Structure 1
Amino acid sequence: MRLPNFRGLVAGEVPVVEEHEAMDNKAVEAGHSPVVDVTHPVDDNTEEFTPDAQGGVKKIEATTIVWTRNHLIAAYVMMWLVTFVDAMQQGTTGVFTPYVTSSFYQHSLTAYTTVMSSIIGGVLKLPLAKVLDIFGRPHGFAIMTGFLVVGLIMMAACNNVQTYAAAQIFYWIGYNGISYIISILIADTSHLKNRGFMYGYVSSPYIATVWITGPLADAYLSGPGWRWAFASFIFITLGVCLPLLGLFTWNYHKAKKAGIIQPVKINRTFKESCVYYAIEFDAGGLVLILAGLVFFLLPFSLYTYQGDGGLDGWNSPLCISFVIIGFLLLIGFGLYEKYLAPKTFIPYRLLLDRTVLGACILAATLFISFYIWNSYFFSFLQVVNGLDITRATYVQNIYSIGACFWSLIVGLAIRWSGRFKWLAVYFGVPINILGVGLMIHFRQPDVNIGYIVMCQIFIAFAGGTLVICEQIAAMAATDHQHIAVVLAIEGMFSSIGGAIGSSIAAAVWTGVFPEKLALYLPPETKDQAATIYSDIVTQLSYPKGTPTRHAIERAYGDAQRYMNIGATAILALGLVSVFMWRDIRVKDFKQTKGRVA
């Protein structure tokens, strides 16, 4: 499938950006790099930049003005390669975690590290958005590549589980950051009408990597070992990230040399620079929202580890205090942004825009629903359907493969129709409700696996539709200046939704499965209920067709029924959120500048 046609430049439409390089002697003597600021274009007769845009946004707009058609095509090829390597790397290295921890005979930090790395990687998109907007896209991409490479180096060289745990945090910050920046670069370099297809194109590597990661991980484990796997990916990552970074940096300097970006000396002391950037980054608001999200989200993942065997749960002092502190900090963030912030993180009018708010609510709803029905799906496929690990992986990956494939078709449909809301209203949400709702009946013992595969296909096509539509909705409601922040806010809602969904799934599982298991087990194995409940290996040790295995399968079915009922019910909120959107026509919507796809 070829890329959409590229638009040429109109002769003479060359705006000018003033790049202010601080040459203050005090700052230089202190060892600090020059301060960079960007003002409005000075030529009123030229194509203007996005009004009130910050420096990073104007720099990328100047870059797209000077680069060639071949460079545009090369950028999309390189972004595809970065995504391919990241997807293959994430899937392969994830297999190694139990082998790494087993080699050190320590497991205590693994669960906490996974929780912290996922939360930190999610919420750091908020300050990263400001780095991209103020300093520039290449700066953020270089920083995130550095985090990922440092994480891989630490994993390759680790001699204890504590080092590996710290490496995971660095790795996930870099991995999530690179994925996020790629989405921003697509928004910078594509027309809004083509953006859905471009997102589908760049995510298409996941169609292939789900089949590669397992054999690749097995080859490393049976060959040179997991340390060499991490070491190999250090060089592979640099091999695909540095050319993309170099392409954007080269064209940035080309715009600077052409006079589109003009250095201007300004006088600003180091202290003045600190104050300036504290205001530009909305430091007070960022501290409040980051701390609030970390405190609020942690208990959703850690409550099962509180007390002996997780018996304290939500009643533990840690969970209660963290939720209260997080909730108060998030309220404080809203009040600070409304009444005290000298420069807000995101304009209040945009945060309350019904299309942006609806897109964020849909993102949270989809993640809540997904994590409710998917949390114990892999175990269900093995225990109830009797699939081995390989075949269970294939069924579970139907969502990734189907969603990535279908997103390409959705992108073309948006390009053809010029609208996106109809796809979500008439196809995405209804098909998603249908697929999840049917699992209430089909995810039960003695139901043919083909019906579950059918449900997964429905959900995959619906997910591929809704993820693209929600991102287009959020971006269509704003200008180029606020795209990075809007997508970061949408990612924040997704993180919250995932945490809530996982919490609900765990609550249903712990509340239903052990009770039903004790009820259904035959007398000869009732005393084994606690062991069976906590260990999938023990569950699989009873042959299919035996009374004990049948009891386990019935208990699974009961727990799954409640999970799927909850996952279906929450999707009603998704339908409401989609109706909130304005029916924006994106076909003739001009949001980006220069030569774009």
Structure 2
Amino acid sequence: MENRSNSKISEPRFERQEVHVTDKEYNDVPPEFENVKYGQNAHQEVMPVDSDGEKQKLRPSLNMHGLPDKLHVSKWLVIRQSELLAAEYDWWPFRILLLFCAFICGYGYGLDSNIRFIYTSYVTNSFSEHSLLSTVNVINAVISAASQIVYARLADVFGRLTLFITAVVFYSMGTVIQSQSYNIETYAAGSIFYNLGYVGVVLVLLLILSDFSSLKWRLFYQFAPTWPFIINTWISGNITSRANPQENWSWDIGMWAFIFPLSCVPLICCMLHMWWKARRTEEWKILNEEKTYFKTHGLVSFIKELFWKLDTIGTFIMTVSLGCILVPLTLAGGTSSKWDDSQIIGPLVLGVVLLPMLIVYELKWAREPILPWKLIKDRAVWASMSISFLYDFIFYMAYDYLYTVMIVAVDESVKSATRISSLSAFVSTVFSPFFALYITRVTRLKPYIIAGCGLWMVAMGLLYHFRGGKSSHSGIIGGLCVWGVGTTMFTYPVNVSVQSATSHENMATVTSLNYTLYRIGSAVGIAVSGCIWTQNLYHEIFKRVKDAKIASYAYEQPYNFIAEYTWGTPIRQQVVEAYMHVQKLETLVGLVFCAPLLLFSLCLRDPELTDEIAHNDLGEGEYIARDKDYIFDWIEDKCRKFVPGLHPKGRHPSFASQEAQEETRSIEEGQVPDDSSDVVMESGESNFKKLQGEFHSRRVSSHEQNI
């Protein structure tokens, strides 16, 4: 049999075999080794065949949690179909066409999100609820975090294109609701549907580009949808100033209900063209004859399995818990404290109580937990998840109210403030193609991720120092430029780093975990930022102006306030001092959390980027590949001199106690531990095999036993 570790992306040969299968389950092994379906009658089964004609062995299927995975066939088919689609676009002009279509799509949602963030502040201002800007953003982030999990798991069942079109529909639906809102509650409701669509578009587009790129070129492909920021940074200011959002925000938002879907048409046509080409191949025809769980068991059984596959109960509890904890933090402050209000205390207590319930449910009853332990226990995954969380948390601590600070406390125009607030994205985008091409040559990411986190700490220091007054104009620009360079070097590279350490089958899972923590980080960051803002700003303004009416006016309607109290007037300067004080608190929190961000970057693995889509040489029970990590090994070697109890120098595993326990169990079972293994093995392998054997013995029919 051909060695898989040396195999490239190829199209396997298929044979048909008539087999009677009765509710048979198959093991969660690499997808190129098996294809099964679930049926009550005899049907055709597609089996991969080696180059020498030998049929590969099928095994009973359990997911990584040791439970039956009845939707494994659907997931396998989607992954194989995506590989066949990628094979049809293996010619470089087609790849350029795909990147151009992704660029157009990114141009649509990038420009919209860039200016909608600005428009939201005018919406809250028009409702005299500007301080609720963080509340709306928290709701957006919580919904986004929950939908990441759902989209990633659905994408492996229904396919990328179906989920992409569904996300576009949600996007347009939410945009229409937001544009026609008449109060802050209606606008927040529209934000839920808008974010369901926005998150789905971004995640599915990322998965599509990942399916079509090798690890070496993965970063270049994932950067493609961000390149429109080079244009958007400069035209967004012109759009917001000409659109007059203070008066026309409804139309300014509503027009994107048809502009964005139009920008998605080229990508959809591109995907349909791939499908049209692939459907004529023999492999595709054989895959289409495969009967999935839906075809053999019907709609009701399929929905039931999908309910457990999505971990619907766990995701719902997580969403409600996060919302009940974070939203009250943004509502409790303002012109008067509301911490003694039952409407604030009640949801907060409910959210805290739901957290342990979520943990218990995920550990005891969830069939597909939100956090798959066998993946997240490795530092390649938990370190990248931690960085994703801190990235957005720190970002919103400094950025959430930056536009308002520049308008009120730096005296920037609408055009200038819009451009400056987009400057970090502009610098990041300009730098990204050169950095991505450079990475294709060095094929390592970890040193640059560490450097990027260090640059973020420098940028936060600059934003802490320059936070108000006309003299801060250049300082803010400089800080955002440094911020943009650092963003290029670690945000997307973190995703590529964790993708390069796992298999194609788990690629969507680890990507969604990163983006889920990314969205949770934004929710927490916005909530903490909003809490600091609402708890301090009004009191700081009142402390200086000594007039409750003026203080309320400046706090609730800052854009109307600056039109009446121009720059240089005494009251305006007092308000500027209040804004500077609160922004100092915001950026200080972000600066402090840059230290753990840098620490987690040191804990990442450093897999080599190859010409494969993902790791193809992971065996049974192996989820994360581990290459030589010079940086972590050097740190570990230095720490060994000061920390007693670390494992001997000759051993590479980072968690010695865990590895020792696994080796002890293997020895007790009569297995010889392989010290030369370059992968992290799953713990509790003996229990997994016992459960697998028991399940298989109960399921195998007499006909199969005879076979």
TM over 0.5: yes
Q: Distance in 1 between matches of 2:476 and 2:337?
A: 33
Q: Distance in 2 between matches of 1:398 and 1:498?
A: 19
Q: 2:587 aligns with which of 544, 548, 564?
A: 564
Q: 2:449 aligns with which of 395, 400, 424?
A: 424
Q: Does 1:497 align with 2:521?
A: yes
1:440-589, aligned counterparts within 5 Å? 440-445=464-469, 447-521=471-545, 528-536=550-558, 537-538=560-561, 541-587=564-610
Indicate the residue corresponding to 2:658 in structure 1. Answer: none
Q: Which digits, 9 at most, give the CA deviation of each residue in 1:121-176, with x for residues without a partner?
A: 442121111111112111111211222234456667x5966876654433332122
Q: State the SS of the aligned residue for 1:42.
A: strand
Q: Which digits, 9 at most, give the CA deviation of each residue in 1:163-212, with x for residues without a partner?
A: 76654433332122111111111111111121112222221112212333
TM-score, structure 2 length as denominator?
A: 0.69
Q: Is the 8 A contact 2:134 2:330 kept in 1?
A: no
Q: Does 1:65 align with 2:87?
A: yes
How many Å apart are 1:229 and its aligned residue? 6.5
Q: Distance in 2 between matches of 1:166 and 1:159?
A: 9
How many Å apart are 1:388 and its aligned residue? 1.7
Indicate the residue corresponding to 1:311 in structure 2. Answer: 337
Q: Distance in 2 between matches of 1:17 and 1:294?
A: 49
Summarize the Cα distance change of 1:138–1:208 in structure 2 as closer, same or farther, 3 Å threshold.
same
Code of the residue aligned with 2:395 in structure 1: it is: F
Q: Distance in 1 between matches of 2:310 and 2:90?
A: 41
Summarize the Cα distance change of 1:92–1:39 in structure 2 as closer, same or farther, 3 Å threshold.
farther
Q: State the SS of the aligned residue for 1:124.
A: helix
Q: Distance in 1 between matches of 2:193 and 2:398?
A: 30
Summarize the Cα distance change of 1:403–1:282 in structure 2 as closer, same or farther, 3 Å threshold.
farther
Q: Does 1:42 align with 2:48?
A: yes
Indicate the residue corresponding to 2:627 in structure 1. Answer: none
Q: Which digits, 9 at most, give the CA deviation of each residue in 1:49-73, with x for residues without a partner?
A: xx97633222211221234524333
Q: Distance in 1 between matches of 2:416 and 2:593?
A: 30
Q: Distance in 2 between matches of 1:442 and 1:562?
A: 13
| Unpaired runs of at least 5, structure 2 | 1-6, 19-36, 62-71, 617-707
Indicate the residue corresponding to 1:181 in structure 2. Answer: 204
Q: Is the 8 A contact 1:149 1:234 kept in 2?
A: yes
Code of the residue aligned with 2:466 in structure 1: it is: F
Q: Is the 8 A contact 2:335 2:552 kept in 1?
A: no
Q: Distance in 2 between matches of 1:99 and 1:516?
A: 23
Of 302-311 and 208-217, more deviation after overlay is shown by 302-311
Summarize the Cα distance change of 1:100–1:357 in structure 2 as closer, same or farther, 3 Å threshold.
closer
Indicate the residue corresponding to 2:420 in structure 1. Answer: 395
Q: State the SS of the aligned residue for 1:584.
A: coil
Summarize the Cα distance change of 1:170–1:532 in structure 2 as closer, same or farther, 3 Å threshold.
closer
Q: Which digits, 9 at most, give the CA deviation of each residue in 1:413-460, with x for residues without a partner?
A: 3222111110021x2111110110133222244634212211111111
Indicate the residue corresponding to 1:4 in structure 2. Answer: none
Q: Which digits, 9 at most, give the CA deviation of each residue in 1:288-322, with x for residues without a partner?
A: 12331333135423444359956224x54455444
Code of the residue aligned with 2:107 in structure 1: it is: F
Q: Does 1:282 align with 2:282?
A: no
Q: 1:414 aligns with which of 439, 442, 445?
A: 439
Q: State the SS of the aligned residue for 2:609.
A: coil
Q: Distance in 1 between matches of 2:543 and 2:256?
A: 50
How many Å apart are 1:373 and its aligned residue? 1.4
How many Å apart are 1:350 and its aligned residue? 0.6
Code of the residue aligned with 1:356 in structure 2: it is: V
Q: Distance in 2 between matches of 1:145 and 1:282?
A: 25
How many Å apart are 1:479 and its aligned residue? 1.5
1:131-530, aligned counterparts within 5 Å? 131-152=154-175, 158=180, 166-216=189-239, 233-261=256-284, 262=286, 263-265=289-291, 274-276=300-302, 278-279=304-305, 282-283=308-309, 285-305=311-331, 311-313=337-339, 316-327=341-352, 329-344=354-369, 347-425=372-450, 427-445=451-469, 447-521=471-545, 528-530=550-552
Code of the residue aligned with 1:210 in structure 2: it is: T
Q: Is the 8 A contact 1:186 1:198 kept in 2?
A: yes
How many Å apart are 1:498 and its aligned residue? 1.6
Return the structure number with greater relative CO, CA threshold 8 A, min gap 6: 1
Q: Is the 8 A contact 1:350 1:478 kept in 2?
A: no
Indicate the residue corresponding to 1:29 in structure 2. Answer: none
Code of the residue aligned with 2:264 in structure 1: it is: C
Summarize the Cα distance change of 1:147–1:18 in structure 2 as closer, same or farther, 3 Å threshold.
farther
CA RMSD of aligned residues (A): 4.1
Indicate the residue corresponding to 1:56 in structure 2. Answer: 78
Q: Distance in 1 between matches of 2:596 and 2:231?
A: 33
Code of the residue aligned with 1:60 in structure 2: it is: S
Identity among equivalent positions (%) equals 20
Q: Is the 8 A contact 1:200 1:405 kept in 2?
A: no
Q: Distance in 1 between matches of 2:570 and 2:522?
A: 36
Q: Is the 8 A contact 2:216 2:610 kept in 1?
A: yes
Summarize the Cα distance change of 1:137–1:592 in structure 2 as closer, same or farther, 3 Å threshold.
farther
Higher percent of residues as helix: 1
Q: Distance in 2 between matches of 1:353 and 1:578?
A: 14
How many Å apart are 1:250 and its aligned residue? 4.0
How many Å apart are 1:473 and its aligned residue? 2.1
How many Å apart are 1:569 and its aligned residue? 0.3
Summarize the Cα distance change of 1:254–1:559 in structure 2 as closer, same or farther, 3 Å threshold.
same
Larger-gyration structure (1/2):
2
Indicate the residue corresponding to 1:28 in structure 2. Answer: none
Summarize the Cα distance change of 1:55–1:39 in structure 2 as closer, same or farther, 3 Å threshold.
farther
Q: Distance in 2 between matches of 1:60 and 1:463?
A: 30
Q: Distance in 1 between matches of 2:585 and 2:334?
A: 27
Summarize the Cα distance change of 1:420–1:19 in structure 2 as closer, same or farther, 3 Å threshold.
farther
Q: Which digits, 9 at most, give the CA deviation of each residue in 1:557-595, with x for residues without a partner?
A: 2222222221100111101211110121114555189xx
Q: Distance in 1 between matches of 2:101 and 2:367?
A: 39
Q: State the SS of the aligned residue for 2:506.
A: helix
Q: Distance in 2 between matches of 1:106 and 1:569?
A: 30
Q: Is the 8 A contact 2:105 2:263 kept in 1?
A: yes
Code of the residue aligned with 2:393 in structure 1: it is: I
Q: Is the 8 A contact 2:387 2:600 kept in 1?
A: yes
Code of the residue aligned with 2:199 in structure 1: it is: N
| Unpaired runs of at least 5, structure 1 | 1-8, 21-34
Code of the residue aligned with 2:86 in structure 1: it is: T
Q: Is the 8 A contact 1:399 1:457 kept in 2?
A: yes
Summarize the Cα distance change of 1:15–1:316 in structure 2 as closer, same or farther, 3 Å threshold.
farther
Code of the residue aligned with 1:417 in structure 2: it is: V
Code of the residue aligned with 2:290 in structure 1: it is: V
How many Å apart are 1:219 and its aligned residue? 5.9
Q: State the SS of the aligned residue for 2:502.
A: coil
Q: Distance in 2 between matches of 1:553 and 1:235?
A: 40
